[in-house]
């Protein structure tokens, strides 16, 4: 068994889709796994045996029900809504790779742990429910009669990231696209092209090749900029580039210019559409392309509009980001984990800036080596997938984590990892706010390591009354840009009352009005993302007839109905935009 890899820009390669109906078996007692919790029994369900009436076989995928992939199991069958644990998936497929090619099996995401078996062979494992992975299956495929079995386990554990408790639904399953991709023996697995800060229109980067000898030639073309460059592969597999094209138009929210790039390396070729821009900080301001920008944003979960369940499709991205545009927003925080790649692709096209986060959320096993390894892996996979997306300007390492010495060591390691892997972007975190009376102090020690401060506060909902918000003053001892990363209150769509009536649209709208009055007086505020774009499922929200397992802080209901607060925010952002 090999460790999985992650092929950058794989969504631009020709692929054979395995989406659609997969047979499944729910296995709460792990009967098909075996006695070793860390190693599957290959004579268990992974073997894909069939009941023939003679041999003793107590399962059969062929006669089991089906789940649709992509999709979580919770929202597809009522009896699985609250299920957490092990589910086995199986699909038969045909694939005829060309001679001399290598084949990878791609998973957009599998929540949370996945073990993959092809034709009785254990090909790879992956942990982390929101990042993609690719398993090489070249040597296990047959000319016909192939099958894949995937054991997906979304059990919550104290040593994982996230850990035991979150304020979102633990949607289990193969939640994003699955497909096969063929590549040559020598192929591009990663590349990065970035506009260098403070160096005019100088573009720098690399293309990484697997299976290529040092000295091999590689060509990079950007036809619209008349760029046609050749480089050679070094001992590390990288071919490096540095050039300053004439006539470059920088990517920005009001002009999200994308260029088609073409990479040719031997028998492999890879195309992509990317933009070029710079992002940096100067004192307490965020600079995009060297100019200050105010981030008019909002949070969103990867909750599918209208149908519910985990968002994964182009239509989901169109709807969610379309609402951001309708708000006159130029920024979105993808909470609290990496979202489907359709979201960042669409953000690139629409000119919506992105805060991208890994699920180091609330309480984590700060002292545990496994938790830190998992967090670093998910961060690395998130950066690798999206480091050519011009829309992504912020990597976030955590959300609302209580202060402790162990937590600080853990999170600083993630900050250092993000800076090392991508020095062209900014690193942030959504921090808890220290309140001293009516003074809010941004003094979390993690702030010293961040480029941009994020602050979560719920004045008017969890703390005080809505009219208290404008009375607060804010102190910023780090003199860094601040994004007010969460604020707001709950409202059930269609529930009306006085401005102090909990869960009424009127109270939510009043909180927004008072919060915006406070925010407008903070001189070092560089942006804001109220909580949240759309109502989303959460097992912690149990008030009958109002919450019903939904966090109701959305400015839009889960059925797409806009609440009064939506229009308050829309009006505020319209004035800022114009």
Which residue has 């390691």 as its token pair? 413
- How does strand 113-118 pair with strand 121-127? antiparallel
Residue that terminates a domain, selected from 243, 277, 311: 277
- 323 and 228 in a common domain: no
- The predicted pLDDT at position 2 comes to 84
CATH number, domain containing residue 65: 2.60.120.260
| 447 phi, psi to nearest 5 deg | -55, -30
CB-based contact 402:363 (threshold 8 Å): yes
- 203 and 175 in a common domain: no
List, as one string, the DSSP characters of 275-318: ----EEEETTEEEETTEE--EEEEEE-SBPTTT-SB--SHHHHH
- 207 and 176 in a common domain: no
Instruction: Give residues with Cβ within 8 angstroms of 380, minimum separation 6.
Output: 417, 421
Is 558 within a domain?
yes
> Could you tell me which residues are beta bridge partners of residue 265?
268
- 41 and 109 in a common domain: yes
Strand-by-strand arrangement of the 439-441 sheet:
434-436, 439-441, 473-475
- 341 and 224 in a common domain: no
Distance set, CA 256 to CA 262, 273, 339, 577 (Å): 19, 11, 20, 16
Q: How many whole angstroms separate alpha carbon 88 and alpha carbon 40?
A: 12
- The predicted pLDDT at position 199 comes to 75
CB-based contact 494:561 (threshold 8 Å): yes
- 166 and 22 in a common domain: yes
CATH number, domain containing residue 244: 2.60.40.10
Q: How many whole angstroms separate alpha carbon 218 and alpha carbon 196?
A: 22
| 474 phi, psi to nearest 5 deg | -120, 135
Q: How many structural domains does the chain have?
A: 3
Is 437 within a domain?
yes
- 553 and 430 in a common domain: yes
- How does strand 285-288 pair with strand 291-292? antiparallel
CATH number, domain containing residue 430: 3.20.20.80
- 304 and 245 in a common domain: no
- 559 and 448 in a common domain: yes
Is 366 within a domain?
no
Q: How many whole angstroms separate alpha carbon 243 and alpha carbon 226?
A: 12
Nearest Cα neighbor of 317 from 297, 334, 329 is 334
- The predicted pLDDT at position 96 comes to 84
- 305 and 178 in a common domain: no
Which residue has 């088609």 as its token pair? 260
Q: Give the pLDDT means over successive 10-residue stretches in the chain (578 positions).
A: 93 97 98 94 96 93 98 98 98 90 98 97 98 97 95 97 97 98 98 92 97 96 98 97 97 98 97 98 98 98 98 98 98 98 98 98 97 98 98 98 98 98 98 96 98 98 97 98 98 98 98 98 98 98 98 98 98 96
- 349 and 321 in a common domain: yes
Q: Using CB atoms within 10 A of its CB, is residue 243 exposed (0-12), middle (13-18) or buried (19+)?
A: middle
Is 372 within a domain?
no
Structural domain range at position 267: 198-277
- 524 and 463 in a common domain: yes
Instruction: Give residues with Cβ within 8 angstroms of 264, minimum separation 6.
Output: 218, 219, 221
Residue that terminates a domain, selected from 277, 310, 343: 277
Token pair of 28 as six digits: 């709460």
């Amino acid at each position: 068994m090999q460790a999985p890899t992650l092929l950058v820009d794989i969504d631009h390669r020709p692929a054979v889709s395995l989406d659609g109906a997969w047979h499944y078996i729910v296995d709460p007692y792990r009967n098909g796994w075996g006695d070793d919790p860390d190693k599957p029994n290959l004579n268990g369900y992974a073997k894909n045996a069939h009941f023939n009436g003679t041999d003793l076989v107590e399962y059969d995928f062929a006669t089991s029900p089906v789940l649709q992939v992509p999709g979580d199991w919770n929202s597809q069958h009522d009896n699985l809504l609250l299920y957490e644990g092990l589910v086995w998936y199986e699909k038969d497929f045909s694939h005829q790779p060309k001679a001399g090619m290598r084949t990878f099996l791609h998973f957009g995401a599998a929540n949370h742990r996945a073990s993959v078996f092809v034709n009785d062979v254990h090909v790879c494992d992956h942990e982390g429910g929101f990042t993609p992975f690719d398993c090489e299956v070249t040597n296990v495929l047959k000319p016909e009669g192939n099958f894949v079995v995937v054991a997906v386990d979304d059990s919550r554990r104290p040593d994982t990231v996230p850990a035991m408790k979150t304020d979102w639904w633990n949607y289990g399953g193969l939640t994003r696209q699955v497909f096969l991709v063929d590549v040559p023996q020598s192929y591009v697995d990663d590349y990065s092209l970035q506009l260098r800060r403070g160096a005019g229109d100088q573009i720098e980067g690399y293309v990484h090749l697997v299976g290529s000898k040092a000295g091999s030639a590689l060509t990079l073309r950007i036809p619209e900029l008349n760029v046609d460059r050749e480089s050679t592969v070094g001992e590390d597999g990288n071919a490096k580039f540095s050039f300053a094209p004439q006539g470059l138009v920088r990517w920005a929210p009001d002009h999200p210019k994308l260029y088609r790039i073409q990479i040719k390396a031997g028998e492999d070729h890879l195309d992509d559409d990317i933009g070029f821009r710079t992002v940096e900080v100067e004192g307490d301001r965020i600079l995009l392309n060297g100019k200050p920008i105010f981030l008019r944003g909002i949070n969103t979960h990867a909750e599918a509009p209208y149908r519910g369940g985990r968002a994964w499709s182009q239509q989901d991205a169109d709807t969610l980001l379309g609402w951001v545009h309708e708000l006159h927003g130029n920024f979105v925080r993808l909470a609290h984990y990496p979202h489907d790649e359709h979201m960042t692709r669409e953000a690139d096209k629409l000119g919506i800036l992105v805060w991208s986060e890994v699920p180091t959320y609330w309480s984590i096993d700060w002292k545990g080596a496994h938790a830190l390894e998992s967090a670093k892996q998910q961060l690395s996979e998130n950066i690798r997938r999206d480091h050519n997306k011009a829309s992504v300007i912020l990597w976030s390492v955590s959300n609302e984590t209580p202060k402790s010495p162990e937590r600080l060591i853990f999170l600083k390691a993630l900050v250092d990892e993000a800076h090392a892997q991508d020095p062209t972007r900014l690193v942030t975190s959504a921090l808890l706010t220290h309140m001293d009376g009516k003074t809010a102090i941004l003094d979390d020690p993690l702030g010293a390591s961040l480029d941009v401060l994020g602050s979560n506060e719920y004045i008017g909902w969890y703390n005080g009354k809505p009219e208290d918000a404008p009375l607060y003053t804010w102190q910023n001892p780090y003199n860094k840009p601040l994004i007010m990363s969460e604020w707001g209150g709950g409202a059930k769509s269609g529930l009306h009352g006085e401005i102090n009536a909990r869960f009424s649209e009127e109270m939510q709208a009043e909180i927004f009005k008072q919060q915006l009055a406070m925010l407008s007086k903070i001189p070092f505020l560089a942006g804001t993302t109220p909580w949240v774009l759309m109502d989303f499922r959460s097992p912690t929200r149990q008030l009958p007839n109002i919450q019903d397992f939904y966090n109701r802080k959305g400015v839009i209901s889960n059925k797409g109905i806009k609440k009064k607060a939506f229009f308050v925010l829309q009006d505020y952002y319209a004035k800022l935009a114009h």
